[in-house]
A = this chain, B = another copy of it.
Amino acid sequence: MSKLKNAVIGQSGGPTTVINASLAGAVAEYLKQENCGTIYGAVNGIKGILREEFMDLNSIFGDEKNLKLLMQTPSSYLGSCRYRLNLDDEEEFAKITTAFKNNDIGYFFYIGGNDSMDTVMKLSNKLEGTGIKVIGIPKTIDNDLVGTDHCPGYGSCAKYIATVVSEMAQDAGCYDIKNVLIVEIMGRNAGWLTASSALARDAKLSAPDLIYLPERAFDEERFLYDIRQKLLNQDTVIVAVSEGIKFANGAYVAEDSQDSKRDMFGHGQLGGAGKKLEYLVKKRLGIKVRSVELNIPQRCCAHNASLTDATEAFECGAAAVRAALKGETGKMISIVRADDADYKVSFDAIDINTIANNEKMIPDSFISPEGNDVTEEFIKYARPLIMGEREIIFENGIPAHIVR
C-alpha cells in the first residue's frame, strides 16, 4: 500500500462554534488511514498557503485529549482570513502551487462560508488535471449556503439564541409593568438566525412575541401597531429583529446609527437596528423599552453548542476527506435530510460551481403572512438542529480550550 499524498486544511471567514469540529473530523479521518502522510494546517486560511505557513497536525491531534479540546474550542484554531483569491494574478497562483509542491500536497480542504467556497471553486478549476483534490467544507452561522439542507455552525448559534431569548423573557417579565425588549440578532441578508429565536417558545413563555426578518420590508408603523396589539393582552413584549432589516426603499434600518465602512467583500458593517427601534418605541409609545444586541457571543458560544450541530460539523470534515480520497474534487460537502418523520441526515459531495456566490434566503412558507413571525413549518425545520448537548471538559470552572 503506497503512502498517501499529504493534505493541507484551512479555515476561513467568520468564526463559528463548530468550525473546529469540522477540522477535527477531517484530521481524524485522514489520520485514520493506514497509509496516511502528514496533514498540515494552513495558518490564517489561504493566506497561510500563500506564505507557506503550515503546522504539522499529526503530532498534536494524534493525542485524543487534544482532539476533544479542539472539538469544544470555538472560532478557528488555525486562524482565519477574509481573503478573496485572485487567480488571474499568475504570481499568486504560482505561490500556491509552489507551496503544494514543496510539501507534497495532494489534498486541500477549506472550511468556510460563501466567500470561501468561491476560493474552493476558483482553485479547483485552476488545478484541474494536476491531480490535487480540492474539497470545501461548509461553515456559517448564517445558514445561507445553497445546496445543503443547513450549515454546520447554524444549529449551535440557534441553540444559544433560543436559550438566551428564553432566559431574557424570564428576566424582562419579572416586574408588573408594561415593557418592551428588542433583541438584535446577527444575519446580514438572511433571517435564519433571527427566526431561530422562535425556538425559545418551548420554554413556556410567548417570547419572542414578534419576529422581523430581512426577507420582508420593514415598516415602522406596522411595527408599532404590532407592539400595541400585543401590549393589550400582556405586560412584556419581546421582539426579535435581524441586524439586516431594511425599509421598502432598501435602506437599512440600522443605517443612520452606524458608519458606512465596507469590508473587503463590499458588505456593509451593520449593527444598531435594535437601538434605533428602541428609540422609536420610547418616542412613540412612551413605555419602558430596552434593546440588547446579542453580538459576538452568538457565534462563539461553544459552552452551549448543539450536539447535533457539532456532530454534523465533525462528519462534514470526515466526509470531505473520504470524498477526496475517492478522487473527487471541486466539490462541497452537503448535508442531506432524509424525508422521514425522525430527523436523519446523510452527507453528499456536490459540484462547487453550483454553490459559490449564491445565498439561501428563508422561503416564504417559513414566514407568517403578516411578516412578523415564523410558521410551524420553520419550527419543524429548525428544532432538530439545536437538539442535544455535548459533554464539556471544564478547567477551573470554564470550558477548556486549545490554542495553537
Interface residues of A (CB under 8 A from B): 15, 44, 47, 73-76, 79-82, 159, 162-164, 166-168, 170-176, 181, 199-200, 202-205, 290, 292-297, 299-304, 306, 383, 386-389, 392, 394-403
Q: What residues of chain B lie closer than 8 Å to A293, measured between beta carbons?
A: 292-293, 295
A128 to chain B, nearest CB (A): 30
Q: Given the interface contacts A44-B176, A163-B399, A387-B397, does A74 sit within 8 Å of B204 by beta carbon?
A: no
A392 to B203, CA, bound (A): 13
Give the most central of A167, A383, A392, A399: most B CB within 10 Å: A167
Provide the bound-state CA to CA distance between A168 and B79, in Å.
14
Contact in complex: A297, B292 (CB < 8 Å): yes
16 chain-A/chain-B pairs, Cβ below 8 angstroms: A74-B170, A79-B174, A80-B175, A163-B398, A168-B296, A170-B300, A170-B403, A199-B397, A202-B397, A204-B401, A204-B402, A205-B403, A292-B293, A304-B304, A386-B396, A386-B397
Please, which residues of chain B bring their CB within 8 A of the CB of A168? 296-297, 300
Question: In the complex where A176-B79, A295-B292 touch, is A306 in contact with B397 (Cβ < 8 A)?
Answer: yes
With contacts A167-B303, A170-B75, A292-B295 taken as known, whether A175 is within 8 angstroms of B81 at the C-beta atoms is: yes
- Collect the chain B residues with CB atoms within 8 Å of residue A199's CB: 396-398
Nearest-CB residue, chain B, relative to A205: B403
| Chain B minimum-CB-distance residue to A386 | B397
> Are B403's CB and A386's CB within 8 A?
no
> Oligomeric state, in number of copies?
2
Beyond A299-B171, A303-B163, whether A398 also contacts B176 by CB under 8 A is no
Q: Report B-chain residues with C-beta under 8 Å of the C-beta of A301.
A: 164, 167
Q: Say how far A166's CB is from chain B's closest CB, in angstroms.
A: 6
* Contact (Cβ within 8 A) B401 A47: no
Kindly report which residue of chain B lies nearest to residue A83, judged by CB atoms.
B175
For A302, the chain B residues whose CB sits under 8 A away are 167
Given A167-B300, A205-B403, A303-B167, the answer on whether A79 and B175 have CB atoms closer than 8 Å is: yes
Residues of B contacting A403 with CB < 8 Å?
170, 204-205
Give A256 Cβ to nearest chain B Cβ, in Å: 15
- A300 / chain B contacts, CB cutoff of 8 Å: 167-168, 170-171
In the bound complex, CA of A82 to CA of B177 (Å): 11
Residues from chain B with Cβ under 8 Å of A304 in the complex: 303-304
Name the B residues within 8 Å of A395 (CB-CB).
202-203
B163 near A202: Cβ-Cβ < 8 Å: no
Bound Cα distance from A387 to B173, whole angstroms: 29
- B402, A74: Cβ atoms under 8 Å? no
Q: Please, how many angstroms separate the alpha-carbon atoms of A259 and B204 in the complex? A: 34
The residue of chain B having its C-beta at the shortest distance from the C-beta of A166 within the complex is B398
Q: Give Cα A73 to B15, complex, Å.
A: 30
Given the contacts A383-B396, A397-B162, A47 and B176 also touching, CB distance less than 8 Å: yes
Closest chain-B Cβ to A395's Cβ sits at a distance in Å of 6
Q: How far is the CB of A280 from chain B (nearest CB, A)?
A: 15
CB atoms of A80 and B174 under 8 A apart = yes
A172 to B296, CA, bound (A): 9
Known: A292-B297, A296-B168. A203 touches B399 (CB 8 A): yes
